[in-house]
Amino acid sequence: MNEQRYRAVIGWFQAHPAAKRAAYLVSRGAVAAVYLLYGALLLWLAVWHRTLLLPAALVPALAFWAGSALRARINRPRPYTTLGYQPLFPKKETGCSMPSRHCFSAAAIAVVAWHCSGPLGGALAVLAVLIAVSRVVTGVHYISDVLAGLAFGGGFALLGWQLYALAVGALLG
């Protein structure tokens, strides 16, 4: 999106308070739902499937660490900084836009959850996409930031889960 599109979308939300409230609830609610469902998954694994608990906790944590390091290294300015507008919900951060941390975290959690429970992983994937859309619509990320975040988190988690499975197989086998 360019400056005019960001301004038009944000202006529309500013002119429609109910839609702005809904955007806020979706933006915050989807993030909260991901972390609540992930916490529930870890608790369920701790009680019923302890062998999956370590990779389910470790892989998203490593994705978060690696993704945070990558975004600090890239340090891409936020679109509202570069294009000179106010995002729908004010933020102070001016850099570290690529990849979106919300998106790579949600995608990594969704992939890990999918390995443990297909339906839960699917629900979390839908929430990850909802988070991505909300990050662009509210003006805090470029489309490329959220796509990179989803790809990085999902890819990292797929690879991390497979490497963990190979390591365990080699140790036991």
* pLDDT at residue 110, rounded to an integer: 98
Q: Is the pLDDT of residue 138 over 80?
A: yes
For residue 1, pLDDT over 90 is answered with no
Q: Interior CA angle at 141 toward 139 and 147, to 5°?
A: 135
CA–CA gap between residue 91 and residue 152 (Å, rounded): 24
Residues 99-112 have a mean pLDDT of 98
Average model confidence (pLDDT) across the chain: 97
The count of other CB atoms within 10 Å of the CB of residue 19 is 12
Share of residues in the chain with pLDDT > 90 (%) = 97
Cα separation, 92 vs 72, whole angstroms: 16
| Residue 173 pLDDT class (50, 70, 90 cuts) | confident
Task: State mean pLDDT over 32-42.
Answer: 98
| CA separation for the pair 138, 6 (Å, rounded) | 8
Q: Is the pLDDT of residue 95 over 90?
A: yes
- pLDDT score, position 97: 97
Residue 33 pLDDT class (50, 70, 90 cuts): very high
Residue with tokens 């499975």: 165
Look up the pTM and report it: 0.96
- Decide: 93 and 75 in contact? Cβ < 8 Å: no
DSSP state, 84?
A: T
- The pLDDT of 98-107, averaged and rounded, is 98
Do 100 and 154 contact (CB within 8 A), yes or no? no
